[in-house]
Structure 1
Amino acid sequence: MGIFSKTCEYAMRAVFYVASNTADGSRVGLKEIAAEIDSPEHFLAKILQDLCRKGIIDSAKGPNGGFFADAKTMTRPLSDIVSAVDGDAIFTGCGLGLSQCSEINPCPLHAEFKKVRNQITHMLTTTTIGQFNKQLLNGKISLKKT
């Protein structure tokens, strides 16, 4: 169980895969990405189209087409992917899902959840998409569930 929606999990794994496999200027296709991150193709196609529309990754059509990441993508924080897919609720939302939770009107989890939320926000805003490339290419980290 993760902290992100299933859509966001697939989006992040797909972006990591695309980034780590296109640094040399090549492109990767939908079938390859889906197989490498254990994602349903049809669902992933919609996610990748949305990520392209929002400028997280790029795509090209044609016989040498596919998805790719440019230098700008590599420097983007992970928070850009999360915001593009799930919105900003993880950065501002209540741990119990209340709409009126605040410092003035806190939920029972407010103080402790705020600490966790701030740590997650820090991690997502200070970690870049390209940071994992070397570890992915060396097989030290994985994009598949075991």
Structure 2
Amino acid sequence: MFSKACEYAIKATIYIAQQSHQNRRANVKEVAEAVNAPEAFTAKILQQLCREDILSSIRGKQGGFIFDIDKQKKIKIFDVVTIIDGDGLFTNCGLGLQKCSSVNPCPVHDDFKAVRDGLINMVQKYSFYDLAIRTESGLAWLK
């Protein structure tokens, strides 16, 4: 459903949130290993999340990526998905038709609308703080 880049971005952001709870910075190599993603690809994704002010990075030997706790509580999965993949998953026709709408529906319009609405609710429900807590407590995993 999400692109590979988006999947990596979500998992990396959760991982960095976890590390930030422990007052630790995570470097690119560590993040890539933790989420089973290519290191160069992970670096590009993390740079994009920093440019969009989701994550922060500190250069140097003691540097790395951090995710402010207050931001974690505000930033939802939806925010990262729209940064990486755009909003097409939440707005486009399930069959890729250009003029699909409730007035001019495609053959699966109503069914896909229900799926899309459920997805929107899910990605707007969870903050990265929530997700980090779930994984830290062993209720969920990143690998």
Common fold by TM > 0.5: yes
Answering whether residue 112 of structure 2 is matched by residue 121 of structure 1, we say: no
Post-superposition offset of 1:73:
2.5
Aligned to 2:97: 98
Query: CA 1:103/1:47 → structure 2, altered by over 3 Å: closer, same or farther?
Result: same
TM-score (norm: length of structure 2): 0.94
Alpha-carbon distance in 2 for matches of 1:84, 1:142: 23
**Which residue number corresponds to residue 30 of structure 2?**
32
Q: 3-state DSSP class of the match of 2:21?
A: coil
Per-residue Cα deviation, 1:92-140 (whole angstroms, up to 9, x for no partner):
1111111211111111110010011001001111211110223322333
Structure 2 unpaired stretches of 5+: none
Q: Is the CA contact 2:94–2:112 (under 8 Å) kept in the aligned structure 1?
A: yes
Q: Which amino acid is the alignment partner of residue 106 of structure 2?
A: C
Q: Structure 1 stretches of 5 or more lacking a match?
A: none
Q: Secondary structure at the match of 1:113?
A: helix
Identity, in percent, stands at: 42
Match of 1:136 in 2: 135
Corresponding residue SS for 1:4: coil
Q: Deviations over 1:61-97 (max 9, x none)?
A: 1121100100233121110000000000111111111
| Greater mean deviation of Cα atoms: 24-33 or 78-87 | 24-33
TM-score (normalizing by structure 1): 0.92
Structure 2: distance between partners of 1:38 and 1:78: 19
Greater mean deviation of Cα atoms: 80-89 or 64-73: 64-73
Aligned to 2:107: 108
Distance in 1, matches of 2:67 and 2:142, equals: 17
Letter in 2 for 1:16: I
CA RMSD of aligned residues (A): 1.1
Query: Alignment length, in residue pairs?
Result: 142
How do 1:1-146 residues align onto structure 2 when only pairs under 5 Å count?
A: 3-75=1-73, 76-144=75-143
- Determine if contact 2:20/2:69 at 8 Å carries over to the other structure: no
Structure 1 distance, partners of 2:125, 2:136, is 22
